[in-house]
Chain A
Amino acid sequence: MIHLGISNLHKKFGGNHVLKGVNFEVNGPELIGLIGPNGAGKTTLTNILDGAIKPASGTVYLNGERIDQLPPYEVARAGLGRTFQVTRSFRRMTVLENLYVPSLALGNARSRSELREKAMDVLEFLTIEHLRNEFAMALSGGQQKLLELGRLLMLDPDVVILDEPFAGVHPRLMDVIHAYIKRVNEEGKAIIIISHQMDSIFSLSQRLLVLNFGDLIADGPPESVKNDPAVIEAYLGSHGDEVAA
């Protein structure tokens, strides 16, 4: 049973208190949306979860193992994978090589033929199998997003964090990404989606978390969160200067 436990997480950058005691748990294959205005602390939280930065205080446990002090590669091996807000494919490596990296790093393929077969399955699912030998830099922005998602399928983590998976993506590719999220979730993985695309996040998520200036102001089913006065206040603001999408 997957369990991600985040307890009293704090992070400061200079005088900027970015996370102010964030607490939540993920139990089992939940599909969670994480939203909040710009500067809410979403990316900082993601960076702490994947080990890229260390929290000032607080703990993160994944399946009983404390991961908040581990380097990113050990967090990945412990079972937490992520994509980035701005796509970070290995541009001067082929599409297949991009997919081989996580699988070889974790040693989860027994042979080269099994590795290739697994990678081809992923590419076919993502509808970019014809690009397998192209360099990643030859792919469009949307295709590079798919490639990044494909790398996560090869990593096969228990918890998947998708940072802005729908940003700048063509509607046809959006369908592929929706199918991807459903497939990963059905495989028993927990997914945390960070997005400003409210339509997608409300339709996909079973549970919504809302961050605002480092505070977790809401945690519940999308319908109740949508009508939460604190969330409306955070998005619309008392002066109406923040407009929700």
Chain B
Amino acid sequence: MRKRIPNIAGAILLLFLLAFPLIYGRPDYDYIMHIMITGFFYAILAASWSMLTGYAGQFSFGHMGFMAIGAYTTGLLCHYIYLSPEPTGICWERGFFDQYLIVVNPIGVTSTTLTQDCLRQAMEVWDGTVKVTKMPVLLGIILGTLMGALAGFLVGMLVLRLRAAYLALFTLGFSEILKAAISAEIEITRGQAGLELPPLYPEGVTLFGHYFGPTAKLPPYYTMLALLLLCLGILAWLARSKFGLFVRALREDQDAAAALGVNITRYKVLVFTITCSMAAAAGAVQGHYVQIITPNMLFLLQMSLVVAMAVIGGLENFVAAAIGAIFLQVMLELLRNSFVIGGIEVDMTIWRLVFFGILLMVTLRFFRNGLIAPLISHFRRSGIAEETIAKRKIDAGGAGS
């Protein structure tokens, strides 16, 4: 029974998360839903990073880079790719079945150059007679995820011989280079001005008999929660399979694992590919949810936040890492409210980060596998110590008789 307590607690938490947007009715509904959606986003990043680092021992500081690859892939595709039944004659275009696949020319960020947009010019000439189709958001997200997987595969191949600090530095360098490239290519990515994305559901969506507009919070809430559950499901399946066993062996001692027949190259590359594709999927969905992406999403502080969430939840348990991420995201937002003690106003917008830092340091010092993972482990492994001791007592009794 004790072993099932984590499952029961998980089921209750899941039911709560499913029902929450339907039962919460306060005026700050949109704000609270936004916190939760962002919490789910960080939970996907923390859980996938936990698989990469906690299970496989590949300490990567580039996870936000893969997230950004997902976001920018769908962002750029939605921004530049269109389908038209008529050729523009001035854009780069190719026949695509009975349509034309049009790639719009990059025009940078200044409003005076908007007239240089080739598709805009063509549409002015067409005067509404030709219907141009935008890139479907779902296709953008799928392609963003695949691009993240490809980048993860390539980085995984490049870091095969790197371990510990060298791996962390390599991946940090990768993320910084990506940020610099996105910032520099203003013509294409719009740099620090940010790239606008269409909403997750551009035409809105009908759920439970109600129509929800493109900016409503409920559809993205369930979308991000569904993506989180999908990722956790895949990670759970992987963790229970020989994949999970092999990547943990890789973490413990890759030379010993290889000597026992484990193809360490394959599993190292696979774990990078899978976890990076999850980060990219989260980035793509989050990009369409917030509708603007900037290179600031690659700040080291963002990566540190994901690391801290996973560490506080429990690095070697992806469910604990995900719960830790949601909990910390909610707490960090709710602690924003300043208060007054003895006439002195405590500015919590700053102090909450101090508390967060102290919590991280205490966790690292006293709870190596986080605050939530040991609880799960306590119930899951109940009875094992008694089993060992009982056998020892039998042996001792037998020896004495």
Q: A90-B256, A133-B384, A133-B387 are in contact. Are A155 and B249 (CB under 8 A)?
A: no
B69 to chain A, nearest CB (A): 30
Contact with B along A121-149 (1 / 0, CB 8 A): 00000000111011000000000000000
Chain A interface extent, by class: 20 to 34
A2 to chain B, nearest CB (A): 18
Chain B residues with Cβ under 8 A from A91's Cβ?
252
Distance of A197 Cα from B263 Cα, bound (Å) = 34
Partner pick for A72 among B242, B258, B388, CB 8 A cutoff = B258
Which residues from 60 to 102 on chain A have a C-beta closer than 8 Å to any C-beta of chain B?
71-73, 76-77, 81-82, 84, 88-93, 97, 100-102
Q: With CB as the reference atom, state the residue of chain A lying closest to B264.
A: A73
Secondary structure type dominating chain B contacts? helix
Q: With CB as the reference atom, state the residue of chain B lying closest to A108.
A: B261
Distance of A134 Cα from B392 Cα, bound (Å) = 13
Distance of A153 Cα from B78 Cα, bound (Å) = 56
The verdict on B185 contacting chain A, using a C-beta distance below 8 Å, is no
Q: With CB as the reference atom, state the residue of chain A lying closest to B383.
A: A133
Are B248 and A90 in contact, CB atoms less than 8 angstroms apart?
A: yes
Partner pick for B388 among A76, A97, A105, A131, CB 8 A cutoff = A131
The verdict on A106 contacting chain B, using a C-beta distance below 8 Å, is yes
Distance of A47 Cα from B394 Cα, bound (Å) = 42
Partner pick for B245 among A81, A84, A101, A151, CB 8 A cutoff = A101
Partner pick for A100 among B245, B259, B387, B395, CB 8 A cutoff = B245
Which residues from 143 to 170 on chain A have a C-beta closer than 8 Å to any C-beta of chain B?
151, 155
Distance of A52 Cα from B265 Cα, bound (Å) = 14
Chain B interface extent, by class: 20 to 34
Q: With CB as the reference atom, state the residue of chain A lying closest to B384.
A: A133
Which residues from 232 to 254 on chain B have a C-beta closer than 8 Å to any C-beta of chain A?
242, 245-246, 248-249, 251-253
Chain B residues with Cβ under 8 A from A133's Cβ?
381, 384, 387-388
Chain A residues with Cβ under 8 A from B381's Cβ?
133
Which residues from 14 to 54 on chain A have a C-beta closer than 8 Å to any C-beta of chain B?
50-52
Chain B residues with Cβ under 8 A from A151's Cβ?
260
Are A101 and B387 in contact, CB atoms less than 8 angstroms apart?
A: no
Q: A72-B258, A77-B261 are in contact. Are A105 and B253 (CB under 8 A)?
A: no
The verdict on A104 contacting chain B, using a C-beta distance below 8 Å, is yes
A70 to chain B, nearest CB (A): 11
Q: A52-B255, A92-B248, A93-B249 are in contact. Are A101 and B260 (CB under 8 A)?
A: yes
B260 to chain A, nearest CB (A): 4
Chain B residues within 8 Å of A, Cβ to Cβ: 242, 245-246, 248-249, 251-253, 255-265, 316, 381, 384, 387-388, 391-392, 395
24 A–B contacts, CB within 8 A, in A order: A50-B259, A51-B258, A52-B255, A52-B258, A73-B258, A76-B261, A81-B259, A88-B255, A88-B256, A89-B252, A90-B248, A90-B249, A90-B256, A91-B252, A92-B248, A92-B252, A92-B316, A100-B245, A102-B261, A105-B242, A105-B260, A129-B391, A130-B388, A133-B387
A89-B252, A102-B261 known; 8 new pairs, CB 8 Å cut-off, are: A76-B258, A88-B256, A93-B249, A97-B248, A105-B261, A133-B388, A134-B384, A134-B388
